[in-house]
Amino acid sequence: MALVEIENITKNYQMGEIQVQALRNITLSIEEAAFVSFVGPSGSGKTTMLNLIGCLDRPTEGKIAVDGKDVSTLDRKQGAIFRGSLLGYIFQAFNLFPVLTAYENVEYPLVMVKNESPARRKKHVLEVLNAVGMINQKDKRPDQLSGGQKQRIAVARALVTRPKLVLADEPTANLDRKTAVNIIRLMREMRDEFNTTFIFSTHDPGVMEEAEVIHTLEDGRLSHSKQRLASVPEGKNDSNI
């Protein structure tokens, strides 16, 4: 069974008299430990798609199952519990608390979500800070860190609860090209290390090339999906799926 099963989903937004079709009749599945990107121009439906998978919003029609559970019908409270137990998020604007140190920012989800002893909490925080290469910066506050370093901390924060799935909506949009590619590669290394499934969105061609599966959205439709096999030479590894 795939980790995410999306069946015939449609999402409409009502804007006064006008109905916006943000997603139109999309069916796809995402395997466990996959490294997947949704790409497409602004307004194509990427954020809507990630919000539906992350149960921050519900589809107008169709069904979404995450880890075997139908999330298309969860109410707000059920959705919040489900998110806390299974999902991590990385945001475009980093969304770190400015008054907390890097360490405290990473620790925060553990304090909020998991009832762990201080000793275990410390072990988990140091482990993920080490994994993202930020152990030496742990006592700095966000304004003392570069954009790339902030996003490394945000990656650590998303992983500290050991979620099955991390969702990242345009995680590299505030970074220069080189740093952006480094952050995506770091996310892929984290997938290798923790077996976490990563789903991210981007409109940057250099960033999307780092994904193993690329779903292209155009005007709310899934126009194309392709799988890249990491071990095959560049240019020979694209196949329609």
Q: Which of 47, 105, 149, 197 binds Mg ion (CB under 5 A)?
A: 47
DSSP state of 233: P
Position with the least CB separation from Mg ion? 47
Task: Select 92 or 101, whichever has its Cβ closest to ligand ADP.
Answer: 92
Q: Binding to ligand ADP by residue 13, rule CB under 6 A? A: yes
Q: Binding to ligand ADP by residue 15, rule CB under 6 A? A: yes
Encoded tokens for 180:
């952006």
Task: Select 46 or 191, whichever has its Cβ closest to Mg ion.
Answer: 46
Instruction: Measure the CA–CA gap between 236 and 228, rounded to whole angstroms.
Output: 9
Stretch that binds ligand ADP, among 13-21, 109-117, 145-153, 223-231 (CB under 6 A): 13-21
Backbone angles phi, psi at 229, to 5 degrees: -95, 120
Interface positions, 96-155, toward ligand ADP (CB under 6 A): none
Contact 164, 3 (CB under 8 A): yes
Interface positions, 20-79, toward ligand ADP (CB under 6 A): 20, 22, 40, 42-48
Q: Binding to ligand ADP by residue 18, rule CB under 6 A? A: no
- How many residues bind to ligand ADP according to rule CB under 6 A? 12
Helices (H), the chain: 46-53, 76-86, 102-113, 118-131, 147-159, 177-194, 205-208
Instruction: Measure the CA–CA gap between 169 and 60, rounded to whole angstroms.
Output: 21
Nearest partner of 12 among 40, 48, 66, 64, judged by Cα: 48
| Interacting residues with ligand ADP (CB under 6 A) | 13, 15, 20, 22, 40, 42-48
| Residues engaged in binding Mg ion (CB under 5 A) | 46-47
